[in-house]
Chains A and B, each alone.
Chain A
Amino acid sequence: SQQGEEDPQALSIQEGENATMNCSYKTSINNLQWYRQNSGRGLVHLILIRSNEREKHSGRLRVTLDTSKKSSSLLITASRAADTASYFCATDRNSGGYQKVTFGIGTKLQVIP
């Protein structure tokens, strides 16, 4: 099955609450990245966490990585209506001597004002 699977597939919360999205993967990785997509067009990179890191912060975003469980989580604190989007995790790993990035199916987040 696909490398990088997010859950839940859809999440609806009230503005001000925290949103947590999870990602699992199957093979060993170099890095794990999270992306955001608005309106079904191009994705925008949010944050990258290396395989030797356990936690990383960027503004209201907090990412954790547990390589023993092959899982990651993205936490958005104090959510805003503008955070409504789809969020994707992506793993990059060695593939034939190169680095290949593989995306999961995404979590649709709706933040209700």
Chain B
Amino acid sequence: GAGVSQSPSNKVTEKGKDVELRCDPISGHTALYWYRQSLGQGLEFLIYFQGNSAPDKSGLPSDRFSAERTGGSVSTLTIQRTQQEDSAVYLCASSPGSVIRGTEAFFGQGTRLTVV
């Protein structure tokens, strides 16, 4: 597609339920990032993919959070047993992933997750 696409754009869920957030990166981009942003706060790094592998998962806040990427393309961020503190905007970005091809990150519009 023309840009990074995230779905759903908004999600309201009950505490304790599992949620899946989807990211469709720009075709051909090998690097994919997930960030979380609470209201009025900065970007909190969650996980970084290069192709299908995740060399850096250091930002995942707990074992309730997991992410995968298949076919070097679509990525899914799963939050199990959601808690109210998980409420935030979840942002996905992709980039070509190399100095030669470019490292500019292109962002989706995010998924606003509200846990009630």
Contacts and interface: CB of A to CB of B under 8 A. Distances in A.
B9 to A, nearest CB: 9
Interface in B31-86: 31, 33, 35, 37, 39-43, 45, 48, 50, 55-56
Contacts of A44: 107
Contacts of A42: 4, 91, 107-110
Contacts of B55: 95-96, 98, 100
B103 A101 contact: yes
Name A's interface SS.
strand
A48 B35 CA distance: 20
Contacts of B40: 40
Contact of B103 (A40, A99, A105): A99
A43 B107 contact: yes
Contacts of B95: 99, 101
B99 A48 contact: no
A38 B95 CA distance: 20
Given A98-B50, A101-B105, 5 more contacts: A42-B109, A92-B103, A104-B42, A105-B41, A106-B42
Interface of B: 4, 30-31, 33, 35, 37, 39-43, 45, 48, 50, 55-56, 89, 91, 93, 95, 97-99, 103-110
